[in-house]
Amino acid sequence: MTDTASGFIEIMGNPVKLKYFLFRQLPSAYFSGVRVKKLDKMYTEVTVPFKWFSQNPFRSTYFACLSMAAEMSTGLLAMMHIYKRNPAVSMLVLSVNGSFHKKATGITTFRCDDGDNIRKVIEEAIASGEGKTIQAVSKGVNEKGELVADFVITWSFKAKKN
């Protein structure tokens, strides 16, 4: 893990800085209650609650809020590995595919274990100077550990020219 990745983890680990980041950069996620539970070089856990702001008419968490948490669980790993990189690296979501298995009626925790794979793809993009993609998987479970939803987020990375 690079020193810049450690710096990113330190920032995201500070509750005040994390809430400020969410409020400023991802207000929909902030108001929906999406929160980072755990971030390290290998995996991330992000939670989203069932509450008034995140609900749908069917008394469960709205699929878009579930999607936000799933995307954030993969995106934070990517952001960590491109944070303050030289050359800078751009990142972009190319596709989002989700499957829903159970009603989300409490806190849903999304976990992505693709940290090292994401890092490798970013390194390949920097070394080659070409865009590279990865499909990162995020699985969301309820408080009982039951699978609520799973997502495959396709990310693209490309080193910017100086």
| CATH number, domain with residue 115 | 3.10.129.10
| pLDDT number for residue 1 | 45
| Cα-to-chain-centroid distance, residue 4 | 18
Distance CA(104)–CA(91), nearest Å, equals 29
| Residue bearing tokens 């994401």 | 118
Mean of pLDDT over the chain: 92
| pLDDT number for residue 137 | 98
Number of domains in the chain: 1
Distance CA(34)–CA(54), nearest Å, equals 9
Q: What are 56-100's pLDDT values in tens digits? A: 899 999 999 999 999 999 999 999 999 988 889 999 999 999 999
| pLDDT number for residue 162 | 66
Reduced to 3 states, what is the DSSP secondary structure of residue 65?
Answer: helix
CA torsion angle 87 122 4 27 (round to 10)? 100
Q: Which helix (H) or strand (E) holds 42?
A: none
| pLDDT number for residue 2 | 53
| pLDDT number for residue 113 | 97
Question: Cα-flanking dihedrals φ and ψ of residue 102, to 5°?
Answer: -150, 150
Question: Cα-flanking dihedrals φ and ψ of residue 113, to 5°?
Answer: -105, 20
pTM: 0.91
Q: Is the peptide bond before 87 cis (omega within 30 degrees of 0)?
A: yes
Range of the domain at 43: 3-159
Ranges of the chain whose pLDDT falls below 70: 1-3, 162
